[in-house]
Structure 1
Amino acid sequence: MWLLFAISIFIIIFILVKRKEHQEEQERQARDSCSNEPTQPQGKKMQIHSVVTDVVHPEHPSTHQEDIASSSTEQEKSILDESKSEISLDHSQTEMSVFSNHLSLLKLEFELCHEWRLFNSNAAFFWHQDKPLVTVLCLSHFVKGEAKSQNYKEYQFHTESWSWQGDSPKGAASEVKKKLRETFPEQTKK
C-alpha cells in the first residue's frame, strides 16, 4: 500500500515538473521570438516610404546636388512629421482608453460624476450625494500645464475642510481646486 502511495506521489511530481519545464520552454521561445523582431510596440508599426527618382545629368552638377539635398531633407522632415502625428494619435487613443476604463469603474461606484478637461487631458469628479468626500481622477503629474505623466490616479478631496486627503496631483492641485469651486459653489460659501 505504501508502495502504491509512493508511486502515485512520484507520478504527480513528475507531471508537475514536466508541466513547469514546458511552460519555461514556451516563455523562452516567446522571449526569443520577441528579441528577433523589431522592438516596436504592436500598435505602432513604422511605415517605410521609398522614393524612386530618375537620374538626370545636369550641366551644373553642384546646383543639382544642392537641389537633391534640399528635396531629400524636406522629404525626411515630412516623413518625420507624419510619424510624429501617428504616434501622438496612438498616444491619445491609449490615454483615452485608460481614462475610459477608470471612468466606467468609478461611475459604478459613485452616485454622481462630472467630467472636464484639465489642461490637455481628461479629468473627472466622483461623489455621493450629501457626502463631503470627492474623488478626483486625473493624470498624476503636470509641469506648467503640460502632462508629465501618463498614469491616471485617484485623489481624495474633502469639501468641508477644503483640503486634500493625502496626495494631490502635482502641478495641477490649484487648477483642480478652481474647478471644484465651480462645481461645488455652496461648499466655498461656508
Structure 2
Amino acid sequence: MAGIDVDLVLPRGYVPMPLHGLDRAAAAATALAASLQPADATALRAEIDQRADLLAALAASGVRYCGMGMHMADGEPIVTWLTVWVLETGTPAENPRAMLLALAEGDPEAASGADVELVTIDGKPMMFRERITDLPVPEVPGHHDADETAPVYQLRATVPSDDGAALAAVELSTAFVSHGPDFRRLVVDIARSVTFTSTGDSTAALNIPTRLKL
C-alpha cells in the first residue's frame, strides 16, 4: 500500500518531542541528572523513563507528531500538547463525510459527555470532539499519591483525505482546563491546513512548516 504524507501548518512555539531514536534521546537527558542531588536525580530519571515509554507507545499507535507548546495567559505560563495521528484505511470512501458521521456515532466519548460536531470548512468535512476528562498523573516518586488523576481539556479535529483513504487527527491537550477553549481557533486553523499526498511507496512522513497560515 502506498504511504501517505500529511502536510500541516503549526503555529510557532511548539517543540517536537522525539518519536524515534528514543534510547539515544533518553540517555542524553539522563546524563543531566548526574549534577543533581540524589533525590532529584532519581525523580528525573523516573520521569525520563516514563516520557520515553509514553512517546514509544504514541509512535506505535500511529502518532507522527507530538509537540509541547508554551503560551502566556494573564501573565501565567500555559502548557499545551499537540499530537497528530494518521490512519490509512487502505480503502477509498465514496463519501468522506459519511465516514466521519459513522465515526461520530460510534464514539463512546460522545455518550459520556464529550461534544462532537461535524462541520464543513473550506469545502472539507471535519469532525471536532471537545471534552474534559480525568487522566492519570505521571508517577514521580515522592511527588504525588499513587493512582492520582487530574482534569485535562482535550480538543480533537479529524480530517479525512478527499478520497477517504486516510484520516488525520490533530489533538490539543492541556491541564490548564479553564484556558482550553482559548485554543479552539488554533486547532481549527491547523485542521484547515491539513493536506494529504500519496508517496507511492510504503514510507510515510509528516512534513510540518512552523508558521501558521491565516
Instruction: Give the TM-score of the pair, scaled to structure 2.
Output: 0.27
- The structure where helix makes up a greater share of residues is 1
- The structure where strand makes up a greater share of residues is 2
Structure having greater relative contact order (Cα 8 Å, sep ≥ 6): 2
Pair member with larger Rg: 1
Instruction: Give the TM-score of the pair, scaled to structure 1.
Output: 0.29
